[in-house]
Chains A and B, each alone.
Chain A
């Protein structure tokens, strides 16, 4: 019998037990100094609004002062780079979507930070799924009909920019359907939708829930959504998956901190943030913004980020946006 191994094993078991009890932290303020939530977009964008919502809730609900610091630019890398260099004491957090962590590392030749090594991923907030929209006048109502049409004449599709989720989805769909569409990039989805409404664009990709008004008004036909399952708010929109194309691409939003954050602190921030988003009125606001909240542990979030880098890499290369 290897007593040394048994002993080591026992110590490790006890250590594990101790750390797991420490995981049960109480939600509440974690810093006397105001916390800065860095956002990768300018004021007014969805992530900015989520950040401001969070900041307001932290203040009123838990007495934790928080301010939003917008550092837009270069697909979130400016903000991420800045946060990576801050002290890991819980006073600086970044609220990001997947761009700086799962897209930019593959897309750009060299980044000043490593998405896993330089960050502690704290809390996953939620995700929204994009989908394919076509003109009602085209008469296309199913993906099959779309495929048939596009194989004959390529269609133009609008995205919210080169390297954006909608662009990557567009390229993924093209690849899966073995068709070639004409990509027309815009600065954000709003101008794309405007051109679509003006009849200049044949189709576009964008977050589905946020365009539910257009679907209801019959101004756009949603052919498919790239989420694993149908979205409960739009039950009539089929997923790509169920139509035979395994395309699952979601834009997620989450909170991260610089590397080296104390595990206890990480848990506390995690619990507090989840407590904020557990509130029904906050969830309602999130849903209004098109984000579906899912509660997840910090470890799972960290694992998800690593996993997604691998998932997105081939898509990014296929989209031809690798620098």
Chain B
């Protein structure tokens, strides 16, 4: 295998000063823009797009890629510190990350995510280097039926993301699914639930849902303490770094997250959000610390980061080798390539080996740069938490408004965020969690699209789900998971019942 040779060639390409510089610019820009809530990689990439016209394809691509995974990393910083996800995928990181910050362990959270992102990025890179042709072919053999099965699996995982009880969790996922139907039905072109409002034609933008549910809802919930002056958000400087045990506990989640993320990211259209959710759900089942999930656990914050960073990298595979963008920023990448007269497609690997391998090698360099850039910043970010919340929260509101407004320059979006923010606060009051809703909202329309398309293509034959090997396998796995979940719930109930009926009235103290 001359993969090593290709990779070394790519390394030589990326280590040229021009490429190095643009890699740095991309990563730098991406990180800072990603921190700003709502303004994700899209805005950043759109911003540097004009610059790419003056560049050759390789540095341009390297820079765009840097922005992409830099923004993903920056997004997690905001979600840990403020519970305002900078990107939708970061909302999973927020689950454990913000709990850690509330316990005064923001530094620990940030170190964990930095390491996890780096680890995930490296895994993603290795996967691309070794498996690109295989993954490209795999993506090609995915028919709508198979996509449906993957997304269904993702939805089951989304229900498992909830920490507050399965019933409410599933209800939230279904609610998200339901709200996702607002907008134009892609299969028939008819508008649904838009109540005549033209801005709702394309549905509610996911950034608005994320900002409203997480950001605005969180601020409303947190103001009370500020007003009465009892809020304390401390940083425990003695607990700044993860303990040795915690460093060690990062290893397995990073591997798991990176693996899941690489695979999911390579499937066009599935995206980093699904990768992060799936990884978190799996970790909850598998981690030795699973009982503590939801209270701020290091593996819980690391695994979604590893997953979404590796997904970010492998998302380039379908983009470059198939020309199918997995997400809007990838569409920009394709567009940029087309301006250079480079058509993404299976030919790209053979026709543009320098560019492709330069890009792959740039993932290594870029991730190292991210690490070097961000680790010293952790101290600064954490100091940000010492700013009294009374100054922070109006600023957060403004940042949310800016992020939302920058989507379409339309104040309607702000009003919508307001409504959703109120909903988010109400949800908190009733202890409904926003994360499963967000996931349902993202996955629902996808699932419906693929289900109906499968039916169209098979001319109404539902057996196609079982006859296609990929979908049959995935559906079988999903069924097994459901059965197992039901079984273990039944078992716990039986045990609880037995314990109550049994002898001891003494309650065992819970030893932590």
Contacts and interface: CB of A to CB of B under 8 A. Distances in A.
Contact flag (A, B; Cβ within 8 A): yes
Interface of A: 42-46, 48-49, 52-53, 55-56, 69-74, 77-78, 81, 112, 156, 161-163, 182, 184-187, 190-191, 193-195, 197-201, 213-214, 217, 285, 288-289, 321, 323
B50 A52 contact: yes
Given A55-B50, A73-B201, A190-B323, A162 B335 contact: no
Contacts of A78: 198-199, 408
Interface of B: 42, 45-46, 49-50, 53, 139-144, 184, 186-190, 198-199, 201-202, 268-269, 318, 322-325, 328, 331-336, 338-339, 341, 343, 345-347, 408-409, 449, 453, 456-457, 459
B339 A44 contact: no
B330 to A, nearest CB: 8
B332 A43 contact: yes
Contacts of A288: 338-339, 341
Nearest to B318: A194
B457 A156 contact: yes
A71 to B, nearest CB: 6
Given A156-B456, A190-B324, A191-B268, A197 B140 contact: yes
> Which of A55, A70, A112, A185 has the most chain B CB within a 10 Å cutoff?
A185
B489 to A, nearest CB: 38
Identify the 9 closest CB pairs spanning chains A and B, nearest first: A162-B189, A44-B335, A44-B332, A44-B331, A74-B201, A200-B143, A43-B46, A288-B341, A190-B324
Residue of A44, A74, A161, A186 with most partner-chain B CB within 10 A: A44
A190 B325 contact: yes
A187 B186 contact: yes
A213 B343 contact: yes
A182 B459 contact: yes
A200 B186 contact: no
A163 to B, nearest CB: 6
A186 B446 CA distance: 11
A49 B408 contact: no
Given A55-B50, A194-B324, A200 B332 contact: no
Contacts of A187: 186, 449
Contacts of A72: 202
A49 B338 contact: yes
B240 to A, nearest CB: 40
A83 to B, nearest CB: 12
B335 A43 contact: yes
Contact of A42 (B144, B186, B331): B331
A285 B459 contact: no
Nearest to A190: B324
Contact of A198 (B140, B184, B188, B409): B140
A321 B186 CA distance: 12
A43 B325 contact: no
Contact of A184 (B333, B409, B457): B457
23 contacts: A43-B46, A43-B328, A43-B332, A44-B331, A46-B338, A53-B53, A73-B408, A74-B202, A78-B198, A78-B408, A156-B456, A162-B184, A191-B269, A194-B318, A195-B144, A195-B453, A195-B457, A197-B140, A197-B322, A198-B142, A201-B457, A213-B345, A285-B341
B147 to A, nearest CB: 10
A44 B325 contact: yes
Contacts of B339: 49, 53, 285, 288-289
Contacts, number: 121
Contacts of A81: 198
B54 to A, nearest CB: 8
Contacts of A162: 184, 186-189
Given A42-B328, A43-B49, A191-B324, 8 more contacts: A42-B42, A56-B50, A156-B457, A156-B459, A162-B184, A194-B139, A195-B144, A195-B453
A226 B138 CA distance: 34
Contacts of A73: 199, 201-202, 408
Nearest to B143: A200
Contact of B143 (A44, A198, A213, A217): A198
Contacts of A321: 189
Nearest to B43: A43
A191 to B, nearest CB: 6
Contacts of B332: 43-44
B347 A213 contact: yes
A279 B408 CA distance: 33
A137 to B, nearest CB: 15
Contacts of B318: 194
B206 to A, nearest CB: 14
B308 to A, nearest CB: 21
Given A161-B186, A200-B144, A213-B343, A71 B333 contact: no
B337 to A, nearest CB: 10
A5 to B, nearest CB: 50
A217 B348 CA distance: 13
A196 to B, nearest CB: 10
Contacts of B325: 44, 190
Contacts of B53: 52-53, 56
Contacts of A184: 453, 456-457
Contacts of B459: 156, 182
Nearest to B139: A194
A46 B339 CA distance: 9
B213 to A, nearest CB: 22
B185 to A, nearest CB: 8
A48 B142 CA distance: 30
A44 B336 contact: yes
A54 to B, nearest CB: 11
Contacts of B50: 52, 55-56
B322 A45 contact: no
Contact of B140 (A69, A163, A194): A194
Nearest to B319: A190
Contacts of B338: 46, 49, 288-289
A278 to B, nearest CB: 19
Contacts of B141: 198
Nearest to A42: B328
B335 A49 contact: yes
